[in-house]
Each structure stands twice: as structure tokens, then as C-alpha cells.
Amino acid sequence: MPSLRRALRVPLLAAWLLSAACGGGSGLLGKEYEYEEQLRLDVDGSARMDLSSSVAALVALRGFDLDMDPAAEGDREKVRALFAGPGVRVRSVRVSRRDGRRFVHVRIDVDDIRQLSRLAPFSWSRYRFDRRENLLEFRQAVGPSAAKPVGDVGWDGNEVVAFRMHIPSVIVFHNAPSRRVERGNILEWEQPLSDRIEGTPVDVQVNMEPDSILYTTLLLFGSTIVLAAVAFGVVIWRVARHGRDEMEAGPHGRTRPI
């Protein structure tokens, strides 16, 4: 089984790189969410979190005091301040509009995923990341929302919330409802927005190998290149040696004095 997992790392890396090149977002899978957390976890426990949400969903789910007027430009610095904290770097804050609502897109890097719940936007979750024998165990338990009334913001009842993860190594176990791994080693937990507002729990569980697919595959590629270079050098040396021996032997096969 370990050898099979190692054999899977190269195609998994290729899919992972394709996903990263395309942005790795929900657009890659043709889905749009009212609220989406997209977590890129590393084997050392550091992570990148991309949160995309309508302002109305942020208000309803997290209880923030934000202007929900779709015509408003939005206070990016106010949004940035919500995601700032120790061990966290806010990489970008963007604003867009869709379906008559304003959306915010925030990217942050966090040194330790277990500390992410200290930030107000993610305080509804409890994160665990432990090493047990030869496995890394990750768990995110999403609890109640703020359930703040937002009035009529254009929701029709079909809005969906998603918690998505990009796994950095071979997946040994997961409890994603779809039971499948999307391209790029992505797992997904979806929930109707109405259920998330009501506080229906979300339980994310993933067990993975401790070696990064990227690191392992780059090491494999590097070793292959070195071996190819050595083999090429041996071929050149043998060709050169053969030519030199023929010159020393002379036209009749006798060795000439040097």
C-alpha cells in the first residue's frame, strides 16, 4: 500500500499544479457559493485561507457591521482589519458584484492553522492538527452562526455555503459527503446557506501522509534529472574513449606508439 501511494504522487502533483495554475477557485469546478472558505493546508500546519463571501452572508453568519448596499464601494480597510491578527498576514482584499450583491474576497496566510479560530471571521470553528504515528490528522468543527437578520437581500433559498480544502499530501481518509477527491487533491463540504445560518454543524475530517506531494515529486524529478545527466555523461565518455582507442590502433588495427 505505501508503494501504491507513492506511485500516485506524480499524477496528484500534476493535477495540483493544474488547479493552482487555474486559480484553484470554485470557478474551476463551475460552482459559485454565497460563502466559501478555501483552505490550502501545508504539512507543517501553516496554511493559506481564501474566503469569498457576499457581504450579506458575512453579516448574517458572522454578525459583522458591514454596509450591505450593493451600490456601495465598501470599506476594504475595515474588512482587512477583521482578518488581521497575530501570526496572520492579510495578502489581499478584493470586492466584486454578483447577482445584485456585493462580494468580498480575502486571502490570508496563517503560521499555525490551530490558531485561526482566534480571528473573528473564523471563531465559529475549532481546528485540530495532530501527528499520530505516520499520519497527520486534521479536523475542523464549524459551530453556530451569528444568525443576524439581514432582511431581503435577494436570496432565493438556493444559496450554498462551502468549506473546501486543498490537501498537500496523499489522502488516507476523509469524510467529505461526496466521498470523492476533486482534481488538484481538493475535498469539499457543502451546506445550504439556510442550514448554516441555523447553525447546523459541519465536521471536516482528513487524515493524510506527512510528506508533501510537491516536495516528494520535485525530489523525484530532481533525482531523475541527475541520473539522466550521469547516464548521458557515461555515454559521451564511452564514445570518446572508443574513438580514442581507434585512433591509437591505427589503420591496420596495430597500436601506434604514443
Is residue 188 domain-shared with residue 79, that is, in the same domain?
A: yes
Phi, psi of 98 (to 5 degrees): -155, 135
Q: Residue 206 contacts by C-beta under 8 Å, 6 or more apart in sequence?
A: 137, 138, 139, 165, 167, 171, 173, 174, 175, 187
What single string gives the DSSP state of each residue in 119-137?
Answer: SGGGTTEEEEEEEETTEEE
Mean pLDDT score, 42-71 = 96
CB 62, CB 51: distance < 8 Å: no
How many Cβ atoms are within 10 Å of 42's Cβ, its own excluded?
A: 14
CB 192, CB 160: distance < 8 Å: yes
pLDDT band at 73 (very low <50, low <70, confident <90, very high): confident
Is residue 140 domain-shared with residue 189, that is, in the same domain?
A: yes
Is residue 39 domain-shared with residue 79, that is, in the same domain?
A: yes
Sole residue written with cell 504515528: 133
pLDDT at 46 over 70: yes
Is residue 9 domain-shared with residue 135, that is, in the same domain?
A: yes
Q: Which ranges of 40-94 would DSSP assign to H, the alpha helix?
A: 55-62, 76-83
Looking at this protein, which amino acid is placed at residue 189? W
Q: What pLDDT sits at residue 10?
A: 46
Dump pLDDT digits (tens) for 174-224. Answer: 999 999 999 889 999 999 999 999 999 999 999 999 999 744 443 333 334
Q: Which ranges of the chain would DSSP assign to H, the alpha helix?
A: 2-21, 55-62, 76-83, 193-198, 213-249
Looking at this protein, which amino acid is placed at residue 252? H
171: helix, strand or coil: strand
Mean pLDDT score, 34-63 = 98
How many Cβ atoms are within 10 Å of 217's Cβ, its own excluded?
A: 19
Is residue 59 domain-shared with residue 181, that is, in the same domain?
A: yes
Mean pLDDT score, 157-173 = 97
Is residue 249 domain-shared with residue 135, that is, in the same domain?
A: no
pLDDT band at 235 (very low <50, low <70, confident <90, very high): low
Among 200, 46, 114, residue whose Cα is nearest residue 190: 200
Q: What percent of the chain has pLDDT over 70?
A: 71
**Cell for 113?**
492553522
How many Cβ atoms are within 10 Å of 121's Cβ, its own excluded?
A: 22
Is residue 66 domain-shared with residue 131, that is, in the same domain?
A: yes
Residue-number span of the structural domain to which 257 is assigned: 213-258
Is residue 103 domain-shared with residue 181, that is, in the same domain?
A: yes
Is residue 118 domain-shared with residue 70, that is, in the same domain?
A: yes
* Chain Cα centroid distance, residue 174: 15
pTM exceeds 0.85 for this model: no
Is residue 112 domain-shared with residue 143, that is, in the same domain?
A: yes
**Cell for 247?**
585512433
Q: Residue 104 contacts by C-beta under 8 Å, 6 or more apart in sequence?
A: 51, 52, 53, 55, 58, 74, 79, 93, 94, 95
Looking at this protein, which amino acid is placed at residue 190? E
- How many domains does the chain divide into? 2
pLDDT band at 230 (very low <50, low <70, confident <90, very high): low
Q: What pLDDT sits at residue 213?
A: 77
